[in-house]
Amino acid sequence: MVQHLKFPEREVERGPEWSELAVKDIKGEALTSKRSGIGVRTRWYYKFHLFNFKWDDEVTEWKEFRKIAWKSISTWDMVDSFTIKPENRETRLIYEMNYTPPYSILGKTWYRLFVHKHLEKHLEYTLFQMKRSAEAVAKFGRPRKSRDN
């Protein structure tokens, strides 16, 4: 969450599940020198089958290690957020997305028929990778003395 351009991870860091996804070639390009906090802007690129997509987003809410929210400032109407909440002795990661496909009824139809299931699968993969990363930090981020116990 705090390394806006590091996500998504490089191709070599992706798990074997990546090959099953239809959304590919994802990368981000910094549009602002500041890379954390409200106002950070990024241009994102990805490929969905034969179609290439590009959009810009801006971070609209930032609570370090607790929440990041952003909105599209080009192309389509989209607002997303990740929120981390402590829950008992565990942590819950909440992803919210509000997206309206462009091109009126044609865009909505295309989205429902062709994009929705692939986007859901991609988001499941993303959340799985975030969980994997968080567990690795929890496991290996402890001081050396406590690792040996």
Reported as a single tens digit per residue, the pLDDT across 114-139 is 777 877 887 888 788 777 777 777 77
Residue ranges covered by each domain of the chain: 11-139
Long-range interactions of 52-59: CB distance < 8 A, separation 24+ = 56/31, 59/4
In this prediction, residues 60-65 reach a mean pLDDT of 91
In this prediction, residues 50-60 reach a mean pLDDT of 89
The reported pTM is 0.73
Was domain 11-139 assigned CATH 3.30.70.1520? no
